[in-house]
Amino acid sequence: MSRTLLSALILLATLLVLFILTPGVLLVLFAGALLAVALRALAVPIAARLGVGEGWGVAAVALLALVLAGLAFWFAADALSAQADSFRQELPGLVQGVQERLSRYGWGRWIIEQVDPRRLMPSGETAGQVANYAVTSLGGLLGGLGDAVLILLLGLYLASDPATYRKAALCLVAPPARPRFRALLDEAGETLRGWLLGQLFAMAVTGLITGLGLWALGVPLAGLLALIAAIFGFIPYIGPVISVVPALLVALGEDPSLIPWVIGLFVLSQNVEGNLLTPMVQSRTADMPPAYLLGAQALMGSGFGLIGVVLAAPLAAVVMVAVKVGYVEGWVEAPAEPSAGQVTAEGV
């Protein structure tokens, strides 16, 4: 067995063992790398334009993002908070209106029975068990906040000095395989950059179209529903299906005749985003078939929950690049190496 093949097998085996033993850590590392790619996509042009180092460009982008987030919170927090509070106050009435309309049909009564909160909470719950649930939820919240801080720090460090980590990664494979591994890293970075730009652009357009459309239709809480649609737009295929549910519930509680219009609005926004805008931006993104992407989302969601679903698409894109560059081009389609006998004969 050649040293090149042995180093590749050791690297794959190490990643597999880490994925089995500590999958959450690898997902956090990947999320940090994804954030680093996003930061560098903006930081490198800014640094070149200002004539400063890339690290200063990353710092400028991070500071700009912080300022924009603060301004958005300052101007939009009151409106969104008021809409969220209004939604909380109107929720009981909306739920009651939905139940009254569904109870007119047999299938509707079956749905009401399935989502009855009394069926979701086991009987005989003690105060101690309820307290355990609360402690577990609090621990999950704190763990999520810790992961978010870790992802932010990883993204900043990786974006500021990627050459150091790239050099360390290249040292993990044998010297003959390093050019191929370097090409894999380059194409994976370009793929993630294109995917991120496409998704962020799609999120903004989806939120804008949804907000304007819901406002024109007279659906309450249009701003909040548009924000939900924009956030879930980060998850291809599944996200838009999830984001339409709150809008349908609000429309059903307000006026059932609005439901076809709301569905048509979401279908229109997703068609504009998916068939026109995203392909224009994601020109360098791996072309992932829908079945492949949905399968990756199902697999990651069943194994790792929400964070698995969120990261399934970019991770699937990287896997496609790795298979294409590392396996198909680097192994299957590579020219066969001459055997020892052929080398000796040619030398003679």
Domain extents for the chain? 3-104+149-333
Distances (CA, A) of 18 to 22, 25, 34: 5, 9, 19
Q: Going by C-beta distance under 8 Å and a sequence separation of 6 or more, which residues neighbour residue 105?
A: none
pTM value is 0.70
Give pLDDT, residue 63: 86
Q: Which of 41-50, 221-230, 286-295, 298-307 has the lowest mean pLDDT?
A: 286-295
Number of H helices, E strands in the chain: 15, 0
Distance of CA 301 to the CA centre of its chain: 12
pLDDT in tens, 140-198: 566 667 778 888 888 888 888 888 888 888 888 888 888 888 888 888 888 888 888 87
SS3 content of the chain, % helix, strand, coil (to 5): 85, 0, 15
What is the rounded average pLDDT of the residues 226-246? 83
Whether residue 68 has pLDDT greater than 60: yes
Mean of per-residue pLDDT scores for the chain: 76
Give pLDDT, residue 3: 74
What is the rounded average pLDDT of the residues 73-102? 66
pLDDT in tens, 103-138: 777 776 676 666 655 554 444 445 455 455 555 555
At 226, the pLDDT band (50, 70, 90 cuts) reads confident
